[in-house]
Structure 1
Amino acid sequence: MEIKFAFAKTIIYEAAAYIRERLDEPIVIATKSGPTDLVTQLDEEVQDQLVQKILASYPEDKIFAEEKGLRHPIFDGQVWVIDPIDGTNNFIAQQTDFAIMLAYFENGVGQFGFIYDVMRDELYHGGGQFDVYCNEQKLAGYRDRSLQQSLISISAGFFQSESIDILPLVHQSLGTRLYGSAGISFAKVLSGRLLLYVSSIFPWDYAAASILAEKLGYQVLTIDGQIPDFQTRQDVMIAPIEKMGEITSYIVKKEGVR
């Protein structure tokens, strides 16, 4: 596994270098499901490069990735999960606060994950048999602090939700912050800058974080407290395991909603 882990670190650094080298080039933008769901040529090029390198070295492995309909189930064999540019809108508008994410599973069991904050050159890596680091600094894991003294991150859509009331949780916290990238938000939780992050996201958004979290005292669950299905878009949160009960007690199901 050490060889595969080192290989993954190499190719994610190469992908980030490829992006940084092209920041001054024109960006070709297309829409997917709606006007704010965007993809660029670099999303596709970076994914293509990662897929090609993985399959050249490990031809029996499979791919679950954001672009081009690559959706091999993580529960079936040796599977890489790829998000080539997480936070594409940030990348387009600001050229910062975006991440490359890569995760590796064997028959549904996470072996390691990577979240690379490209412009800050911060690589969060580890999980499974590996300790979790940011670059060369080992992360200490969750240290208890009160919700009232902690910042949290909740995607904007939850404030208009017809099924849950998120405001009681917000009012118990020190305040909310939004970053526009699941990877950046997950990294801020794992490094202790945020207590929790809640968003409606896809498996490629949370796969790496789900592996890293377990080594640091956090867990990635759905709002209902279930393990995500790793197939569809779901309402997902990352929070300290020991505070899950308290946190979920402030997420109120609206009356009349089953």
Structure 2
Amino acid sequence: MNFDDLDAKMRVFETSHDFCVLPGVYMVARLDGRGFTRLTKEVHKFEAPFDERFRDHMLAVVQHLVGADFRVVYGYTQSDEISLLFQLEADLFNRKLRKLDSILAAEASAVFSLRLGAMGCFDCRISQLPNAELVREYFRWRQEDASRNALNAHCYWTLRKEGKSASSATNALKNLSRAEKNELLFQRGVNFNDLPAWQKRGSGVYWETFEKEGFNPKTGQTMKASRRRLKVDLELPMKLEYDEFLAVRIQEATNCSG
């Protein structure tokens, strides 16, 4: 068998299960850190429950993915996860899921590992969302998850720092309502509402337009030109204001060509 025939024969086994996202469907990638609980609490011992150094590592990954040529209009991160909203008609890798999953996970892992100075790995999966409302609900879901996780984490680590074991702290929080968890913290001098927004709501990375002043040597005049840059937002709004914020990001995704 010559090489061309062998090549054609073997490539079938690589591509027979290729699935592509249909045109006109929104794509949102979610990346999760693999074994990050052990990585951050035992191996590298970041401050619990939140550490600005870890936050900045995650934001560096998001900035890379949004700033690279992946056609991403909005990146969101909370804890050890990242969500990316692509342009509606983005056609990178012909919208093949296996390519999107593998390359996004690989680049995220590489950037994070270089920042950390040790290996940190991500997995990736793509949500295929048929309309803008589901995109909004997706990002509301992740932000509400961030809020729940933040409250639980602050309660858990408050009890751990008081000397409770991992199992005792976990059992103490079982069946407590959100209000009761807030009260647990308040009795210990912590007002959950006053904690940094990035801990409770996550952080965003997106493009913003700004005016840059320049000088035209031919006319001798000062001129202004519009430029784009990445904005890191540690003060994301919540609830209805976040819906309005998301509407802008979704409109950007809808209007951009692939």
TM-score normalised to structure 2 length:
0.25
**Per residue, is there more helix in 1 or in 2?**
2
**Per residue, is there more strand in 1 or in 2?**
1
- For the pair shown, which has the larger CA radius of gyration, 1 or 2? 2
TM-score normalised to structure 1 length:
0.25
